[in-house]
Amino acid sequence: MENYGGWSFKILDVNLSNENIKEKKLDVETARKFLGGRGLGVKILCDASRKHGIFGALSDKNPLVFAVGPLTGLAPMSGRHVVISKSPLTGTVFDSSAGGFFGVELKFAGYDAVIVRGRAERLVYLEIEDEHCEIRDAEFLKGKNIAETTAALSRDGSRVACIGRSGERLVKFANIMSDMRHACGRGGLGAVMGFKNLKALVVRAGRERKAWWKQNGVADAEKFKEAREEVMRLLRASPVLKALSYYGTAALVNLVNYMRIMPTFNFRRSFFEAAENLSGETIREKYELRSRSCYGCFVACKHFTKAGVKIPEYETLWAFGPDCGNYDLEKVIKANELCDDYGIDTISCGGTLACYFELIGRFDATDANAGKNTGVDIVQLVKSVGEREGVGAELAEGSLRLATKYGKKEVSMSVKGLELPGYDPRGVFGQALAYATSNRGGCHLRAYMVSPEIIGKPKLVNRLTFDGKAALVIIFQNLAAAIDSFVLCKFSSFALSEEEYAKLLSAVTASDYKAEDVLNIGERIWGLERMFNLKHLRRLEDTLPRRFFESLDERAFKKALQEYYHLRGWGADGIPTTGS
């Protein structure tokens, strides 16, 4: 085997319709320009759009791409993979990243990406081992959820990414789960997998291949050692990462609530009196916790009880807690367990339940006491979503379709059809602009402006002004796109800048990447995503739900949006111009 410096330069291309399996070469130019992960997947998706024109998310023309990057399995905090496709929830380009071990196994097995095309006539799964792939019958797994499916397919050190019953039932926000607990969530890529009759991917890399990658995967070992030592020094010194290691993302509950940006009762309020019940501090006092880490990560931000029950992430605590007016931690934990097993996105599910509660008048009597009666409903309703039974069939379509059906579109707290996460944009203006301009819809991970506006990383900025935010949002968006293409954990950005990322990338690939190259790659990916959305959606709405403009200055927001377009080199209508 040759030393390729981070890439295998191999793509596995599987057509389920005719069961044709072939290897394709990843050309050097594409690798240099798009890296891997999100960037490579978006490039493949756009190539499919150029060939087939406009296609639906639940269409055999819509490719589903599993991709890793040049840093996967080599750099610190690199135990991740990305899945890319067109979203059935939003109709936009969509990528979703997950941690764990699946991505590293795929990388060491010899592939930079796996493209799944077409649709199988029966339920199948892919088995990949050391550059060999077979399509296998999965009818015996039909109707099984994540835990059962993973247990049935795990053997000899293999890693499994699969869907549960929600994916088979085409729930619009169904996840793809790997290692049982790691979610490629949000936009419903699990439903894309379900439509294709693809139950799972099972990947295994042999010992020799793993040993080879660990010894030879880096092109410049000495340079990489220096870069890694610098990166680890910064990561270990980060107070944010220390908090995440101790509390997990539940550390954010009290902080977000204290700053009055905790969306409550479907974003009707921004403070929850009972937030302490769901906080990381309370969880630490109540349970004896165990930490688990992803491949090559010292942070170990995922926490479990002594009995093995997973502690929910911040977004889940918020979505099934304050947003639904519920302060019962046990109910949130049960809802989270159900979501993991069915393969359901917790943010979109919780946001859709909150929308439903408002539609039926649950929050109207007295918001202060609204949480007393919602806890039991949450668990029952989550199961109904996974089964698509009763009202769950309507909830499974997401909040925008639900609210529109009942003639109250404005009750859906979403952008481009994607439910907003747990940070109220009325108190973080940069995040407001980031939500509105996100290529995949209402998302905090396209540009986590909470970092500079609340946490103070890399520097604290005034959260209650749009001044200077357009430029800052663009930088954060470009950097996030690059991180998703390396592929690294975004938590690394609490301690690292484009300078450190460039040093790692240069050492691994034996190329001379500068900090500006990292941002330029991110900008290239962002622009390609924008063009895909414009082609497939015709018209983009870079705005927020009307509810927010009751207190948020809409003129100031629109002025910042125009500045954003200008700095992107786009026209006043938000359409990229030639050469931008």
pLDDT of residue 370: 52
pLDDT of residue 216: 84
Taking the domains of the chain in order of start, what are their residue ranges?
10-216, 249-422
Helix (H) or strand (E) holding 82: strand 81-86
pLDDT of residue 346: 98
pLDDT digits (tens, 9 = 90+) for 23-56: 999 999 999 999 999 999 999 999 999 999 999 9
Instruction: Assign a CATH topology to domain 10-216.
Output: Aldehyde Ferredoxin Oxidoreductase;  A, domain 1 (3.60.9)
pLDDT digits (tens, 9 = 90+) for 292-327: 999 989 999 999 999 999 999 999 999 999 999 999
Residue 88's pLDDT band (boundaries 50, 70, 90)?
A: very high
Other residues' Cβ atoms within 10 Å of the Cβ of residue 139: 10
pLDDT of residue 313: 96
**Residue 95 and residue 532 in contact, taking contact as beta carbons nearer than 8 Å:** no
How far apart, in whole angstroms, are the C-alpha atoms of residue 62 and residue 192?
A: 8
**Would you call 172 exposed, middle or buried from its count of C-beta atoms within 10 A (0-12, 13-18, 19+)?**
buried
Domain 249-422 has CATH 1.10.569.10: yes
Asked, colleague to colleague, whether 10-216 and 249-422 share their fold, the answer is no
Helix 554-568 vs helix 429-437: crossing angle, to nearest 10: 60
Distances (CA, A) of 324 to 269, 349, 356, 371, 470: 11, 11, 9, 7, 32
Q: Which residue shows structure tokens 């973080």?
A: 428
**C-alpha closest to that of 94 among 46, 52, 53, 61:** 46
Q: What share of the chain in percent tops pLDDT 70?
A: 97
- Asked whether residue 525 carries a pLDDT value surpassing 50, the answer given is yes
- Asked whether residue 369 carries a pLDDT value surpassing 80, the answer given is no
Residue 443 tokens read as 């998302």
- Asked whether residue 2 carries a pLDDT value surpassing 90, the answer given is no
Other residues' Cβ atoms within 10 Å of the Cβ of residue 317: 30
The CA angle 150-303-392, to the nearest 5 degrees, is 55
pLDDT digits (tens, 9 = 90+) for 241-257: 999 999 999 999 999 99
Residue 210's pLDDT band (boundaries 50, 70, 90)?
A: confident
C-alpha torsion 565→567→571→573, nearest 10: 10
Residue 93 tokens read as 């380009």
| pLDDT (mean) for 112-131 | 96
- Asked whether residue 1 carries a pLDDT value surpassing 50, the answer given is no
| pLDDT (mean) for 114-143 | 96
pTM of the full structure: 0.96
pLDDT digits (tens, 9 = 90+) for 456-470: 999 999 999 999 999
- Where do the H-state alpha helices sit in 141-251? 146-153, 165-168, 189-195, 207-216, 221-237, 239-247
- Asked whether residue 375 carries a pLDDT value surpassing 80, the answer given is no
Mean of pLDDT over the chain: 94
Count of residues in the chain: 580
Q: List Cβ neighbours of 29 (8 Å cut-off, separation of 6 or more).
A: none
Q: To the nearest 5 percent, what fractions of the chain are helix, strand and coil?
A: 50, 15, 40
How far apart, in whole angstroms, are the C-alpha atoms of residue 517 and residue 498?
A: 9
| pLDDT (mean) for 354-360 | 95
For the chain, the first-to-last Cα distance in angstroms comes to 40
How far apart, in whole angstroms, are the C-alpha atoms of residue 281 and residue 258?
A: 14
pLDDT digits (tens, 9 = 90+) for 561-575: 999 999 999 999 999
| C-alpha gyration radius of the chain | 22
**Would you call 404 exposed, middle or buried from its count of C-beta atoms within 10 A (0-12, 13-18, 19+)?**
middle
Q: Which residue shows structure tokens 């295994």?
A: 204
- Asked whether residue 491 carries a pLDDT value surpassing 50, the answer given is yes
pLDDT of residue 373: 52
How far apart, in whole angstroms, are the C-alpha atoms of residue 40 and residue 54?
A: 20
